[in-house]
Amino acid sequence: MWAFVDQDHEQRKDGVKRLKKICYAVSFLLLAPCLGWGWQGKVVRVTEGDTITILREAKNETIRLYGVDCPERGQDFGQNARQFTSDMVLGKKVDVQKVSTEQYGGTFGIVSIDGAVLNLELVKFGYAWVYRQHCTKKECYAWCQLEDEAKKEKLGLWRLPVAIPPWEFRSYRKKEKTAQGGEQSILVYHGDVSNHFFHAPGCEDFNCGNCIAVFKTREAAIRARYSPCGKCNP
């Protein structure tokens, strides 16, 4: 009889040990996001609102902010977004949580300073879109809500009558060889052949059924006797 009691007691002890191990493992996983995984470095350059260079262990590393997309150079509020990022992090030590690696070797990351997340702050104050197609972490849902709030309050770029997302701006920006062999960026406009209005990328009528005329410049559209759209005012 005592042999069975001792065996049962040992089994319970083993069960408690296994349970403790599981609890420790679960606690570790729950606490991991709070432990500040990542690394620190000093921001030495701000290329665009969503692209910075950080000095880390005597080497420069390019960081592309994960999940957000700021206006491009040449777009409205592109310089404002860059200035916002500069004011927040340039010359300062930041924490970087790496999310993934860019195609060309850079890093997609979440950057924070003194507890404030740069990615989030840009969206919150209307200097960036959430790149919803690629933003898949749990933080992205809250960021999307902040973007909606910024729109309602007309903060930053949301004051524009038509805010063209940078991914649309990039997709419609074409490359043209110049006589010197260089390249020139061109923004393509669409013309409605039925009413002879032309529209900029981002306009709700940009891809209308009759918008089959394509103009490389605003001047070209006007020379063709097309009138600017009253909604987007290209």
Give the model confidence (pLDDT) of 49-64 as tens digits: 999 999 999 999 999 9
- pTM, entire model: 0.63
Sequence ranges of the domains in the chain = 39-159, 166-228
Residues ≥6 apart with Cβ < 8 Å to 77: 71, 126, 127, 156, 157, 160
Tokens of 68: 């957000």
Question: How much is the pLDDT for 64?
Answer: 95
Q: Which residues of the chain are modeled with pLDDT < 50?
A: 1-6, 9, 11-12, 15-36, 174-180
135-173 b/e (C-beta count within 10 Å ≥ 16 → b): beeebbeebbebbeebeeeebbbbebebbbbbeebeebe
- Residue 194 CB neighbour total at 10 angstroms: 11
Question: How much is the pLDDT for 10?
Answer: 55
CB distance 216 to 195 below 8 Å: no
Ranges assigned E (strand) in the chain: 39-48, 51-56, 59-65, 68-69, 93-101, 107-113, 116-117, 129-130, 173-177, 183-187, 189-191, 197-199, 213-215, 227-228
User: For the domain with range 39-159, which CATH number is right: 3.30.70.2860, 2.40.50.90, 3.40.50.300, 2.60.120.380?
Assistant: 2.40.50.90
Question: How much is the pLDDT for 172?
Answer: 63
Question: How much is the pLDDT for 179?
Answer: 38
Nearest-angstrom CA–CA distance, 69 and 48: 10
Q: Residue 110, SS3?
A: strand
Question: How much is the pLDDT for 59?
Answer: 92
